[in-house]
Amino acid sequence: MNSVIRRAAKADAEACASIYRPYVENTDITFETVAPSSADMEERIASALETHEWLILEDDGEVAGYAYAGTFNPRASYQWACEASVYMDGARRSNGGGTRLYTELLNRLRQKGFRRVMGGVTQPNDASNRLHQKFGFELIGTYTKVGWKNGAWHDVSWYELDLCPDDHRDTDPGLPPTN
């Protein structure tokens, strides 16, 4: 199988929307209740690429999954932190693709100058908990019964990864991350 990780393009919006739709419609993993259209996804991709990153895992020419990072909090002092997510096509989960995508995404975020990556995980979700722990994310807290979906309240656990663990300076980090 020919597999490549590359930066997303507008043309990937339809495939990303198709991958994401079952997560919205059939799971509690995301708190969205209406699946975004291809046009919506195109806007999300463009927005992420302006300031953060959006990556595609392509297997034999087909989009198998994607990972992206975006704003953690819009207030200026948070600009060195971001929130990341990864989604795989249902038929391609548990084959290492998500790990490959997250590895590349975290490397690119580090190179861009981001210092912290956050991951919100709706509970229960053992696979996502394990993925974050595998990368060294630390569980920093859980919002209890914060989201209502599919007839039940759900907790969201928050994970944090320090992209600069060896930098212990308490100095001005300089300019914000750039593309």
Q: What is the mean pLDDT of residues 66-76?
A: 96
Q: Give the chain's domain count.
A: 1
Phi, psi of 106 (to 5 degrees): -65, -40
The CATH code of the domain that includes 150 is: 3.40.630.30
pLDDT at 92: 63
pLDDT of residue 159 exceeding 90: yes
Residue 15 has pLDDT above 90, yes or no: yes
Is 147 domain-assigned? yes
Residue 157, C-beta contacts closer than 8 angstroms, at least 6 positions apart = 120, 121, 123, 129, 139, 141, 142
Percent of all residues in the chain with a pLDDT value above 90, rounded to a whole number: 83
| Predicted local distance difference test score (pLDDT) of residue 179 | 61
Task: Check whether 146 has a pLDDT greater than 80.
Answer: yes
Band (pLDDT 50/70/90 cuts) for residue 82 is very high
Tell me: the pLDDT tens digits for 109-130? 999 999 999 999 999 999 999 9
Tell me what pLDDT residue 96 has: 83
Which of 65-69, 75-79, 87-91, 170-174 shows the lowest mean pLDDT across its residues? 170-174
* Between residues 176 and 64, the one the model is more confident about: 64
* Domain that includes residue 146, residue range: 3-162
Residue 131 lies in a domain: yes
**Residue 32 forms part of a structural domain:** yes
Q: Is 173 a residue whose pLDDT tops 90?
A: no
Higher pLDDT, 91 or 164: 164
Residue 96 lies in a domain: yes
DSSP assignment of 2-51, as one string? -EEEEE--GGGHHHHHHHHHHHHHH-SSS--SSPPPHHHHHHHHHHHHHH
Is there a domain that residue 177 lies in? no
Whether 170 is covered by a domain: the verdict is no
Say if residue 92 is exposed, middle or buried (CB neighbours under 10 Å; 0-12, 13-18, 19+).
middle
Q: Could you tell me if residue 175 is inside a domain?
A: no
The verdict on whether omega for the bond into residue 124 sits within 30 degrees of 0, i.e. cis, is yes
